Chains A and B, each alone.
Chain A
Amino acid sequence: MLKKTSLTATVAAIALLCAQPLWASGDTLVVSQNTVATTLHPLALTMTPEQSIASNIYDGLVDRDHEGKLVPSLATSWSRDGNVWRFALRKGVKWHNGDSFSADDVIYTFQLAETPINRYKFINEKIAAVRKIDDYTVEIETKRPWALLADALYNTIIVMPRFFKDKSEAYIAENPLGTGPYKFVEWVRGSHMNLVAFEDHWRGAPSIKKVSFRPINNDATRLAGLMSGTVDLTTEVPVQNVDTAKNNKNLTVTTRPSALSVFFLVRTDKPELPTAKREVRLAIQHAINMDEIVKTILSGQSKPATQLPAPFFRGFNPDLKRPEYDPEKARKLLAAAGYPDGFEITLNCTQDRYVMDKDLCLAVTQQLSKVKIKVNLVAQTAAVHFKELRQQKYDFMLMGWNETTFDSSRFLGEFLKTKGVWNGGGVSDPKLDAMLEESDIIPDQNGRAAKLREINGYVVEQALAFPLHYPLDIYGVNNRVKGFVPNVKKILTLRELSFQ
């Protein structure tokens, strides 16, 4: 008898648990990105999910629209005169604690940026002084003419309040306070972070009042969250599941080209390696069938690349074409270069960093074997891969880059300029170095863009790196959410959203 009643009770309890609707979100927008936020210290943010959260709490001096064009934010306008940039600041902006925003906050932000944890030191290193002209005007003087200052300030050194003056780094990391559309409420690491609308935001109060960020690492679980309705908005819908998600009537799948570019670097400075020869490098490119890889491995959710920078970067050259897939031509080039029987090379790849990275490398390995290039594939975790790449331990390697400044010059400088930080291929081309330096001092942006297009053409002609593809950003949105437009850097602009 006892057994029976306890069984009934258990069944009743389970029924009760299940009777509750799962659409618990109600008036809260639940956002699920693929990595947990580790810090909200504005100067220590690196991963896009963190930047995405922070950009809803903080504002920068400048912002970018959906197409990536630089637009005003806390600075209403800016002008450049040689080394001196003058920023006019917005009036009537309030911090989340009620204080008023003024030039002092900007001055303080750049003082704070001197901290060793600042990830954007490359900006500070170029700045000579930051001066307050009046309460709503600041001047930034660079050490040398630097055309990229305004571009570089997007999503890097975002403006922090003087309120942080006597606070520790650990405090700032966990208690963000900005001028943005959402105020910080609560953060349980690994579980969720809750924000609430800031009614006094200078753009006007956002429509959705409560937001909860709930990171989910596992792709399948994140998709399950979206499909079961517990999640309203996710980034990184897995490429192989896009069709499944599209078939769900409650969801909309939205894509846009990302700012990421995936490519191979190759050793050019060791004469004993075949890849030191331009013909060999061209041959490798002719032997890679990127259309096939995009279609089969990336499920069509990507675009073959023609050059290193992505299409909306300054200096992107629309006239450039990928070397066409032509194994016969590749074999001829190899024979002409003195390798009629091919050669052996090791390809180093990441296995956890870019979409389908390991599978892509495996496909390339097979494709290259058709032209008698024997590739030994080594796939490692990104942390080790990046370390060894920078130590120039590899001959042939996968890399991806999301350029902060949206400008070809810094991108190419990091990878292909002599002694560049990420120059894993040991590229040292005096002509390229000179062209890059020349481009940096051209004052007018249109003139620079023209020069940069020329440089991109030169890199392709010399085959100094092998562009692969520009992945798409794939978002899943519950249909109850209106107004979602993807941004160029996967930054979620939640103030634009509303519930149906």
Chain B
Amino acid sequence: MLRYVCKRLSQGFFVLAGVSFFCFLIFQYMGDPVLALVGMDATPAQIADTTQRLGLDRPWYEQYLAFIANVSRGDFGISYLTKTPALPLVLKRVPATMELAVMAMLVATGLGGCIGVLAAVRPHWRVSRALMLFSLAGISLPTFLIAILCIYLFCIVLGWLPPFGRGEVIRIGFWDTGLFTNDGWRHIVLPMTTLGLFQLSMSARVLRGEMMEVMLEDYIRTARAKGLSIGAVVWRHALKNALIPFVTIAGLQLGQLIAFSIVTETVFQWPGMGALLIASIGQNDQPVVVTYIMLVAVLFVLINLCVDILYFFLNPKISYV
């Protein structure tokens, strides 16, 4: 097992190297970092001086090697715009994004799971039909549209919830959280729901399919025949067996939610990594963009590793050696 983890980690290392190379290649075709650094009013002398200082006059492979050398020392460079180191800039945004993604995942798996079970157990009931229709809307409508409709309804028409921001946060060690304040909850409700909605529909549909299949199994019929209540059969027998593929999907969803959060964060002005990425791309702040991409790549490698290890615990028959 340990050997497997080590092997996967070293593979992850190659993935990161590949990602960094790809990042670098893209930047050759992006806007002018010198312009981002010295601004619109820059003089030709200033542009030449900055180009040299950044090493942008050297061939791209030399620049790439210098970049790798710096990154291996934990130095992701100084943000062109903020004039402060790029890594802390991105790291400070992690709590907001993670909180939003995890909460959205809870919405997606929790609520989505319930809808899925209901739709499988009582497929002809009007309520479950309505819920499945609603989940279809979740898949087919783009996030930004749902977000704006929600803002219009809950913030302008009803005036119940604030339209933007994260509200009051409390600092616990290195982590900023909005989950322990009333104000924080009022701010997270809309973003987490809109972000979770797409995945909710996915979860509901997957679990419904699995459940319907399981409900046809002989052991379910036997359990019912034994006189067990429908609730006991559904929750204790059917759901347990339908859950394995569902859990796998849920794990992978977290990664997707982090990626999707870029849109949600922009609409709700959620102060997370996604909002920072969009702002940095718009302003051509390359060190911040690279740091974000590398950090998300690390996150994906780790999530995938965790899912693989989870497989092992869910089904010990799988051998990795």
Pair from one complex:
yes
Interface, chain A (partner B; CB < 8 A): 16-18, 20, 22, 24, 35-36, 38-39, 41, 44, 46, 116-117, 119-122, 125, 169-170, 172-174, 188-192, 214-218, 220-222, 224-225, 227-230, 352, 381-384, 386-387, 390, 404, 421
Contact in complex: B271, A38 (CB < 8 Å):
no
Determine the distance from Cα of A174 to Cα of B83 in the docked complex, in whole angstroms: 9
Central interface residue in B46, B93, B186, B276, by most chain A CB within 10 Å: B46
Contact in complex: B163, A225 (CB < 8 Å):
yes
Central interface residue in A38, A173, A215, A352, by most chain B CB within 10 Å: A38
Contact in complex: B30, A221 (CB < 8 Å):
no
Interface stretch (choices B32-40, B217-225, B252-260): B32-40
Shortest 5 CB-CB distances between A and B: which pairs? A383-B31, A190-B271, A387-B32, A119-B39, A191-B271
Residues in chain A near residue B189, CB distance under 8 A: 17
A to B CB contacts below 8 Å, 27 in the list: A20-B186, A35-B279, A36-B275, A41-B83, A119-B38, A119-B39, A122-B41, A173-B82, A189-B93, A190-B271, A191-B165, A214-B164, A216-B164, A217-B275, A217-B279, A221-B267, A224-B164, A228-B162, A230-B162, A381-B31, A383-B30, A383-B31, A383-B35, A383-B284, A387-B31, A390-B32, A421-B44
Residues in chain B near residue A24, CB distance under 8 A: 162, 183
Give the nearest-CB partner of B157 in chain A: A228
Q: What's the minimum C-beta distance from A213 to chain B, rounded to whole angstroms? A: 12
Contact in complex: A220, B35 (CB < 8 Å):
no
- Encode B81-113 as 1/0 by CB contact (under 8 A) with A: 111110001001100000000000000000000
Please tell me which one of the listed residues B50, B83, B271 contacts residue A189 in the complex, with CB atoms under 8 A apart.
B271
Contact in complex: A121, B31 (CB < 8 Å):
no
A-B contact count (CB 8 A): 159
Residues in chain A near residue B41, CB distance under 8 A: 46, 119-122, 404
Interface stretch (choices B11-19, B131-139, B148-156, B296-304): B148-156
Please tell me which one of the listed residues B31, B50, B84, B267 contacts residue A170 in the complex, with CB atoms under 8 A apart.
B84
Q: With A173-B84, A214-B164 as given contacts, are A221 and B36 in contact (CB-CB < 8 Å)?
A: no
Residues in chain B near residue A16, CB distance under 8 A: 182
Residues in chain A near residue B159, CB distance under 8 A: 22, 228-229
Contact in complex: A38, B81 (CB < 8 Å):
yes
Q: What's the minimum C-beta distance from B140 to chain A, rounded to whole angstroms? A: 21
Please tell me which one of the listed residues A173, A221, A381 contacts residue B164 in the complex, with CB atoms under 8 A apart.
A221
Q: Give the residues from 267 to 294 in chain B that come closer than 8 angstroms, CB to CB, to chain A.
A: 267-269, 271-272, 275-276, 278-279, 282-285
Q: What's the minimum C-beta distance from A306 to chain B, rounded to whole angstroms? A: 24
Determine the distance from Cα of A415 to Cα of B6 in the docked complex, in whole angstroms: 58
Residue B166 at the A interface, CB < 8 A?
yes
Contact in complex: B163, A39 (CB < 8 Å):
no
Contact in complex: A386, B81 (CB < 8 Å):
no
Q: What's the minimum C-beta distance from B44 to chain A, rounded to whole angstroms? A: 6
Contact in complex: A190, B163 (CB < 8 Å):
no
Residue B42 at the A interface, CB < 8 A?
yes
Residues in chain B near residue A189, CB distance under 8 A: 82, 89, 92-93, 271, 276
Residue B315 at the A interface, CB < 8 A?
no
Q: What's the minimum C-beta distance from A14 to chain B, rounded to whole angstroms? A: 9
Q: With A17-B182, A224-B156 as given contacts, are A190 and B83 in contact (CB-CB < 8 Å)?
A: no
Residue B72 at the A interface, CB < 8 A?
no
Residues in chain A near residue B317, CB distance under 8 A: none
Contact in complex: B156, A421 (CB < 8 Å):
no
Contact in complex: B155, A228 (CB < 8 Å):
yes
Residues in chain B near residue A216, CB distance under 8 A: 164, 269
Residue B311 at the A interface, CB < 8 A?
no
Contact in complex: A18, B160 (CB < 8 Å):
yes
Please tell me which one of the listed residues B31, B37, B271 contacts residue A188 in the complex, with CB atoms under 8 A apart.
B271
Residues in chain B near residue A383, CB distance under 8 A: 30-32, 35-36, 282-284
Q: Give the residues from 13 to 59 in chain B that come closer than 8 angstroms, CB to CB, to chain A.
A: 30-32, 35-47, 49-50, 53
Residues in chain A near residue B269, CB distance under 8 A: 190-191, 214-218, 221
Residues in chain A near residue B285, CB distance under 8 A: 38
Contact in complex: B267, A218 (CB < 8 Å):
yes
Give the nearest-CB partner of A126 in chain B: B43
Residue B79 at the A interface, CB < 8 A?
yes
Contact in complex: A384, B30 (CB < 8 Å):
yes
Contact in complex: B82, A190 (CB < 8 Å):
no
6 extra interface residue pairs, beta carbon distance < 8 Å, beyond A214-B269, A228-B155: A17-B186, A35-B279, A191-B166, A216-B164, A221-B151, A225-B164
Residues in chain B near residue A35, CB distance under 8 A: 279
Determine the distance from Cα of A122 to Cα of B278 in the docked complex, in whole angstroms: 30
Contact in complex: A192, B165 (CB < 8 Å):
yes
Give the nearest-CB partner of A172 in chain B: B83
Please tell me which one of the listed residues A22, A36, A174, A387 contacts residue B84 in the complex, with CB atoms under 8 A apart.
A174
Residues in chain B near residue A220, CB distance under 8 A: 148, 151, 267
Q: What's the minimum C-beta distance from A424 to chain B, rounded to whole angstroms? A: 13
Determine the distance from Cα of A304 to Cα of B45 in the docked complex, in whole angstroms: 35
Residue B185 at the A interface, CB < 8 A?
yes
Q: What's the minimum C-beta distance from B266 to chain A, rounded to whole angstroms? A: 6
Central interface residue in A190, A191, A215, A382, by most chain B CB within 10 Å: A190
Residues in chain A near residue B268, CB distance under 8 A: 221
Please tell me which one of the listed residues B43, B160, B185 contacts residue A122 in the complex, with CB atoms under 8 A apart.
B43
- Encode B189-200 as 1/0 by CB contact (under 8 A) with A: 100000000000
Residues in chain B near residue A404, CB distance under 8 A: 41
Q: What's the minimum C-beta distance from B64 to chain A, rounded to whole angstroms? A: 20
Q: With A170-B85, A218-B269 as given contacts, are A224 and B155 in contact (CB-CB < 8 Å)?
A: yes
Determine the distance from Cα of A190 to Cα of B30 in the docked complex, in whole angstroms: 24
Give the nearest-CB partner of A50 in chain B: B81
Give the nearest-CB partner of B47 in chain A: A421
Contact in complex: B83, A22 (CB < 8 Å):
no
Determine the distance from Cα of A227 to Cα of B148 in the docked complex, in whole angstroms: 14
Q: With A215-B269, A228-B163 as given contacts, are A125 and B43 in contact (CB-CB < 8 Å)?
A: yes
Residues in chain A near residue B39, CB distance under 8 A: 46, 119
Residues in chain B near residue A214, CB distance under 8 A: 164-165, 269
Q: What's the minimum C-beta distance from A440 to chain B, rounded to whole angstroms? A: 15
Contact in complex: A170, B156 (CB < 8 Å):
no
